[in-house]
Structure 1
Amino acid sequence: MSNSPGFSDFFYSAPDGLKLHARVYGEANSGPWPVVCLPGLTRNARDFHELALHLSARSATPRKVIAFDYRGRGRSAYDPEVKNYNVGVEAGDVLAGLAALSIGEAAFIGTSRGGLIIHVLGMMRPAVLKAIVFNDIGPVIEAAGLAHIQSYLERAPKPRTFAEAVDAQRSVHGQDFSALTEADWARMVRALNRETDQGLLPDFDPKLVDTVAGLDLKQPLPSLWPQFDALGAIPLLTIRGADSRLLSTDTLQQMREHHSMMKTITVEGQGHAPFLETGDLPSAIAAFLDRAERQYM
């Protein structure tokens, strides 16, 4: 591992040999459940930086936090086979990373695609899941939300400067994120992009766009209710952006009916997906994890 402010970089091999990366915060913390952070489709470990600092160093129960870069994102290698950019392969990659870190069980926080991966992990290795936080994701994905993501990725602007990148994000997502401050937008741009000789570039394999562009949104999308129901005994917190296009209020209500102990938070002025470092969310997530762990003691 190489040291960086607040975290260490951890590199490991996927089951197929691809070199993958994760950030490890609070490496010396032991005892409480570690926390695994899984980002969205084109996002990376940097999305969780402020939340990970809170959970690993600022909360009443400091925890080890592992934030993963999936293959083709962040500091993980790009996969020459675009077909491997799928939640099944990525779930296997996460398990390989946990094995390399000697972590057999943890609390999981999944944003968007990260939540889908948690559904798959519940089928592959349910014992690894001690508590779950879903960030604006559930067993049903709204086609309108996917269409918005599809449209944005296909027509993503190519800003030349940091200021242009902030303006571009605000132009596309501002309607859904009225609560964000200038600092929030800047942090989003830094997390999503990397600095290159050609300027700012999105920090993911461009071939990921093909995996979304190929979706036929005229056909009904499959749901994950059986996978969600398999999580029924696991403490669960679902966070929804009040302006989300991906997780509907109807689906959230059905989730409550399927999982009677599920806790929920609605984040006003944010859409898909809420910034987990904003407002009281870090403290609320830390408190949820503490309560969930006490249930096992």
Structure 2
Amino acid sequence: MPDNQGFSDFFYDAPDGLRLHARVYGESNADHWPVVCLPGLTRNARDFHELALYLFGQAKTRRRVIAFDYRGRGESAYDPDVANYNVGTEANDILCGLSALGIDQAAFIGTSRGGLIIHVLGVTKPSVLKAIVFNDIGPEIEAGGLAHIRDYLQKSPRVKTVDEAVAAQRAAHGQDFPALQMGDWERMVSAIYKERDRRLVPDFDPRLPETLKDMDLSQPLPTLWPQFKMLKEIPMMTIRGENSRLLFIATVEEMTRLHPGMKSVSVEGQGHAPFLETGALPGQMAEFFDSAESQR
């Protein structure tokens, strides 16, 4: 049963034995698809807390929600081998967690890296994908946007207090997120950091940014268009931050051409990646899932 925060903690073992974690909101309901939430590169299940509370507790169709912590993030164990912090391994971890939970099909929400993992799942186990929401991610990533993320991770300042953390996040991302209010920044900070030795530290393996250091971001990145085309029969919605540096409008337009039924949403005053609990987004996603499920 969920605790008084609205969720229960679920721990399971990855294929290589690493102890991994997910948050589970709500009860299993065979009549409706659950929603699986996959976070960004350095983020964790806490990013989806407010959205999950809405989807399982307030939406017209109440759905069970599972938000995963990848290995090396949140409550999941750190991997002794940095090379295992890759999309393929993480996709297998998600499938392992779903199997442990008895879930063989679900609607998926993928933010940034989570969307890349969905592309992998579309190749390795497409039957698990019943509906897809891509949050500011597609089959083509702009190298400049990834360079911005890498630079921030490399230069991320040390902070001791929530106020310092909020100031650091606003300094790094405020230009791309003029629509955010103080409460939004505070929720962001509560999801990113954890307290250790009386100071706040990012809640991921500090070696994780090493996976980006050798990438040549002066050149276009490899694309996933062949994998995206394999998703053409799956109901899809793409959310793009108006100021996104990672997902360009031209990419969304090409996604729409290849997937004519795709619903596209632009979020004003936000960049990479939009806060999914803000504005009309929770209701729009809930309606999308209901519509997709009614057509199955």
Same fold per TM (> 0.5)?
yes
For residue 89 of structure 1, what is the aligned residue in structure 2?
89
Using the alignment, how far apart are the partners of 2:179 and 2:61 within structure 1?
29
Range with bigger deviation, 158-167 or 236-245: 158-167
Shift of 1:195: 1.4
3-state DSSP class of the match of 1:47? helix
1:3, distance to aligned residue in structure 2 (A): 3.3
Secondary structure at the counterpart of residue 174 of structure 1: helix
2:142·2:220 contact (CA, 8 Å) conserved in 1?
no
Q: CA contact under 8 A between 1:37 and 1:108: conserved in structure 2?
A: yes
Q: What's the counterpart of residue 249 of structure 2?
A: 249
Q: Tell me which amino acid in the other structure corresponds to 1:166.
A: V
What SS does the aligned partner of 1:98 have?
A: helix
Structure 1's 76 and 4: CA in aligned 2 closer, same or farther, altered over 3 A?
farther
Q: Secondary structure at the match of 2:110?
A: strand
CA distance in 2 between partners of 1:281 and 1:3 (Å): 26
Output aligned runs, 1:24-173, within 5 Å. Answer: 24-173=24-173
User: What secondary structure is seen at the aligned counterpart in 2 of 1:195?
Assistant: strand
CA shift at 1:157, angstroms?
0.9
Point out 4+ residue stretches in structure 1 off by more than 6 angstroms. Answer: none
Task: Report the aligned-residue RMSD.
Answer: 1.0
Give the number of equivalent residue pairs: 296
**How far did residue 4 of structure 1 move?**
4.8
Residue 235 of structure 2: aligned partner: 235
Partners of 1:132 and 1:66 in 2: how far apart?
Answer: 14
Residues of 2 paired with 1:212 and 1:269: CA distance? 28
AA of the residue aligned to 2:167 = D
Note the residue ranges of structure 2 that are not aligned, 5 or more in a row.
Answer: none
Report the CA distance between 1:197 and its aligned residue.
1.9
Percent identity between matched residues is 66
CA shift in 2, pair 1:106/1:277, >3 Å: same
Partner SS for 2:3: strand
**Is the 8 Å Cα contact of residues 143 and 219 (structure 2) preserved in structure 1?**
no
Deviations 1:85-121 (A, max 9, x none): 0000000000000000000000000000000000000
TM-score calculated relative to the size of structure 2? 0.98
When the two structures are superposed, what TM-score results if normalisation uses the length of structure 1?
0.98
CA offset at residue 59 of structure 1?
A: 0.4
Q: CA deviation at 1:28?
A: 4.4
More divergent stretch after superposition (32-41 vs 217-226): 217-226
Q: Counterpart amino acid of 1:26?
A: G
**Contact in 2 for aligned 1:104/1:128 (Cα 8 Å):** yes
